[in-house]
Amino acid sequence: MTEPLSSSHPSLTSNSLGYLFVGLLCAGVVLAIAELSALVPLSGGIIRHAEYFVDPALSFAIGWNQVYSDMVSIPAELVAAAILIEYWKTLNNAIWITLFGALFVISSLFFVRVYGELGLFATAYNRSFLS
């Protein structure tokens, strides 16, 4: 007997189909943005494309959506990092949130080259634990 796709134990097929579907949606968006950038190369990313191709009001709305997204996701990431560290060290989470927030601000104030090197070393550090 086969189980439906909405069972409590998803199969490899349903996981693969879901991954494929979301991947195709993301690929479509990325390819559309790439086509817009090839057609009219603008500085400023998708916000400038919205202003050029649709309306400045859409560009304004996308800009504020990006600000709102950053205002929500950055604190959520800091809390998630503090909860992850709490697994190993039992200190107050406010200490970890303040430490990671300060590291985030300090690394954002550096030049792009230093920021890229920090990202490279952080990735190498993370990869060293995976192998």
2-31 tens-digit pLDDT:
555 555 666 778 888 889 999 999 999 999
Question: What is the predicted pLDDT for the residue at 62?
Answer: 94
Please give the backbone phi and psi of residue 78, each rounded to the nearest 5 degrees, phi first: -65, -40
Is-above-0.85 flag for pTM?
A: no
Q: Residue 2 is encoded by which pair of tokens?
A: 């086969």
| Mean pLDDT confidence for 67-94 | 90
% of the chain beyond a pLDDT of 70:
92
Query: Are the beta carbons of 81 and 90 closer than 8 angstroms?
Result: no
| Mean pLDDT confidence for 42-65 | 92
Q: Which residue has the higher pLDDT, 25 or 104?
A: 25
